[in-house]
């Protein structure tokens, strides 16, 4: 079992807060017909500045620690999480831009595109849960 880097734990916890923000943004838009633009901007900014930089940092510094083999499952989770999370971040930006523009025009974007909203939220949760699984697999199990 590897020593848990503090930055990994911090990022895991704050990613839960980011997810709560995303859920609130969708809830507020869907049920209250209000798009919290400032919260959306802060959430996107945080994701860009910290979480994406964290993923880059870990990718670059991963081999700096002691050499140890990883299971096939661990590698698969790492590849899936890294790729899917980056894709979801990019889709989050696009989704929120379209939502913001819709709400500026008086359109309840999340209501109008219910299926897209549900699919997006489901995919977002898969990305987040894969991150928790990757953390668990990386630091709380014997590889």
Query: 84-118, pLDDT tens digit by residue?
Result: 999 999 999 999 999 999 999 999 999 999 999 99
Give a yes or no: residue 26 inside a domain. Answer: yes
Number of domains making up the chain: 1
Give a yes or no: residue 10 inside a domain. Answer: yes
Instruction: Give dist(CA 31, CA 85) in Å, integer.
Output: 27
Determine the structural domain holding residue 123 and report its residue range.
6-61+69-139
Give a yes or no: residue 87 inside a domain. Answer: yes
So what's the pLDDT on residue 83? 92
So what's the pLDDT on residue 3? 79
Instruction: Give dist(CA 20, CA 23) in Å, integer.
Output: 5
Between 41 and 64, whose confidence is greater? 41
Nearest to 33 by CA among 94, 103, 86: 103
Q: Which residues of 103-115 are buried (b: 16+ CB within 10 A; e: fewer)?
A: beeeebbbeebee
So what's the pLDDT on residue 56? 78
12-39 tens-digit pLDDT = 999 999 999 999 999 999 999 999 999 9
pTM of the model: 0.88
So what's the pLDDT on residue 27? 98
Give a yes or no: residue 1 inside a domain. Answer: no
**Mean pLDDT, the chain, as a whole number?**
90
Between 126 and 11, whose confidence is greater? 126
Place of tokens 């943004």: 25
So what's the pLDDT on residue 33? 96
Residue 133 has pLDDT above 90, yes or no: yes
Give a yes or no: residue 123 inside a domain. Answer: yes
**Cα 117 to Cα 14, 79, 108, 123, 141, distances in angstroms:** 23, 25, 12, 10, 35
Give a yes or no: residue 104 inside a domain. Answer: yes
Give a yes or no: residue 82 inside a domain. Answer: yes
Instruction: Give dist(CA 111, CA 76) in Å, integer.
Output: 35
């Amino acid at each position: 079992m590897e020593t848990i880097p503090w930055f990994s734990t911090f990022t895991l916890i704050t990613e839960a807060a980011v997810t709560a923000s995303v859920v609130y943004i969708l809830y507020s838009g869907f049920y209250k017909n209000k798009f919290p633009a400032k919260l959306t901007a802060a959430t996107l900014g945080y994701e860009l500045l910290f979480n994406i930089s964290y993923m880059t940092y870990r990718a670059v510094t991963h081999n700096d620690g002691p050499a140890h083999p990883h299971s096939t499952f661990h590698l698969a989770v790492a590849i899936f999480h890294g790729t899917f999370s980056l894709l979801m971040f990019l889709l989050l930006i696009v989704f929120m831009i379209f939502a913001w523009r819709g709400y500026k025009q008086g359109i309840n974007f999340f209501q109008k595109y219910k299926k897209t909203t549900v699919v997006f939220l489901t995919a977002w949760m898969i990305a987040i849960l894969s991150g928790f699984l990757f953390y668990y697999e990386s630091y709380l199990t014997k590889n």
